[in-house]
Structure 1
Amino acid sequence: MSLFRQLTIHFETSAQLPPPYSYQYALTLTPAAELLQVDLKMSYTHRDELDPDEIEAEGFTENDDYDWKGDLDKVWRAELEKLLGKTRLSGGIMLDDDQDFLTLDWQNEKLLRGQPENLSDWHYFAQELLQAIFETSGKERAFELHILDLTAQGTVEATVTASFRTRSAQVKRVVDGGKSSLRFYPWHELPHLMEVLYAPNWLSDTASAQKPKRTGLYFNPGDELWYEYNKQVVEPGKGASTLPKLKNMIGKLLS
């Protein structure tokens, strides 16, 4: 028996996040057969404080609001049921200007409203759900990271593909442009990969649009540019040590 008839996630970015980045949404989830029906209504907030030129300068348009209805893969219904099974709603709602705001309307035999006690789990799950919606609707592509290790001994390439639509990831490895292998990448390890990957600074101004041919370790994170380790992928500040962690993780993906 399903743990819910309908669930709506209400979300708003913290008061510390300024426009044009600040947004809010209502995401309604309804079980249907084995699938999960979704209805997303997303709008950007406080943009009346900015001129159109200021909005466009940050890479946005005058209207980035997004609405979508459709079905998500059955894996998302299973994950939602799993999370609901360990969720209790608190009696009060904590408001903190430094934190994003998230509450639930949980409809089953009766309607429950409140903030989940396991709030961090819901924040992350909601982010994953949004990404799954963007991929399913065609708004965004699945995540891809291309790695190229060129040495005097030969070439090793690895491509990490992560699809939020199906909640699955894989690594394809190619040696010297010939022999290839494919393996699954554990989904639960993806957040750590993202954290390590984007901890350094990525300098797009000096990245190359051409696939490298000289010795070095290079990355293409899906933006059609190639970044060289320790040249366009650099420490974010003095005393930081993000690059050794990245190199260690990349070594595991290449092996």
Structure 2
Amino acid sequence: MLLKSDDIKRIEIDFDSGMIPPPFSHVFKLKISFEKGFINTQFTIHYTDREELMEEEIFAEGFTLDDDYNFIGEVPTAWEQPFKSLYAQTKWSNKRELDENGGVKVFAKDIHGKISRSIPTNQEEWHMLAQEFIQAIYEVNKKEAPLTVRYKSITKETVDEYTLTVKFSVRKVILERNGQIKEWNWDDSRQLLSYIYLPDYDYEVASDSTPKKRGQYIDCGDGFWHKFGKGVNNLDESFDAISKIHEGFEKLNQL
């Protein structure tokens, strides 16, 4: 049964990573209720099948022995409409359960007590929105700070510096360009951010020092500067993500 999105009171999202191997394999569950002035939220994530790995194998992939996480609390209402809008535009499959490839299942309940359980066909959109909401949870609970991405272009004549501060908790992006600060559209920022995380970044040649020589540089949020043309490579030869990144930051000059 498809519910009227404006009447939805509660949404639950179950995710299973499917056949990917440990230590990456995991399941998570989100329970969100739309209250007056906040979103009542429960979140659990559990990493699966790690008992078959040595501790060193887990550490080598950047994980710890305590990556499971639980949260119960309030998240700002800025996230209510995105969930309801996605529900309204979603087409639903006839499947009742996920297969071995995993994915997202959605439960919804409206103010009249009607419920809907189904598997969306636009799996990637639901997974992305859930991941962004999880980042909001991490910010609210002080587990992680807002994401900060820095870009610097140095030529013989000019030095342009950009800082993007992504506040997932309130769905706001703050742009600072050469000292000038303004808010940037959330949906527009997602496109540039998606390009930023496509290339392969070689940390063997990265630097934690602020660049001063000619070139274009980026810090993806971890404090290390990567120089384009040296240590930043497109993973997919058919798609030039690096050019998209340059173009994206140049377009910020028009805001």
TM-score category, normalised to shorter length: 0.7 to 0.9
Residues 66-215 of structure 1 aligned to structure 2 (within 5 Å): 66-87=69-90, 89-93=92-96, 95-98=98-101, 100-108=102-110, 109-174=113-178, 180-215=179-214
Partner of 1:62, secondary structure, is coil
Q: Structure 1 residue 21 and structure 2 residue 5: aligned?
A: no
Change (3 A) 1:3 1:118: farther
Partner of 1:243, secondary structure, is helix
Change (3 A) 1:56 1:148: same
Report how far residue 140 of structure 1 moved: 1.6
Q: Is the 8 A contact 1:3 1:81 kept in 2?
A: no
Q: Is the 8 A contact 1:218 1:226 kept in 2?
A: yes
Q: Aligned residues, how many?
A: 248
Partner of 1:116, secondary structure, is coil
Deviations 1:4-60 (A, max 9, x none): 332211111121x11001110111111221211100111101111111221112111
Q: Is the 8 A contact 1:103 1:114 kept in 2?
A: yes
- Structure 2: unaligned runs, 5 residues or longer: none
Aligned mates of 2:184, 2:34 — CA distance in 1? 28
Q: Percent identity between the aligned chains?
A: 28
Matched residue type, 2:204: D
Tell me whether 217-226 or 20-29 shows the greater mean CA deviation: 217-226
Q: Is the 8 A contact 2:103 2:123 kept in 1?
A: no
TM-score (norm 2): 0.87
- Structure 1: unaligned runs, 5 residues or longer: 175-179
Supply the RMSD in Å over aligned alpha carbons. 2.2
**2:34 is matched with which residue: 13, 22, 31?**
31
TM-score (norm 1): 0.87
Report how far residue 117 of structure 1 moved: 4.2
Report how far residue 113 of structure 1 moved: 1.8
Report how far residue 77 of structure 1 moved: 1.6
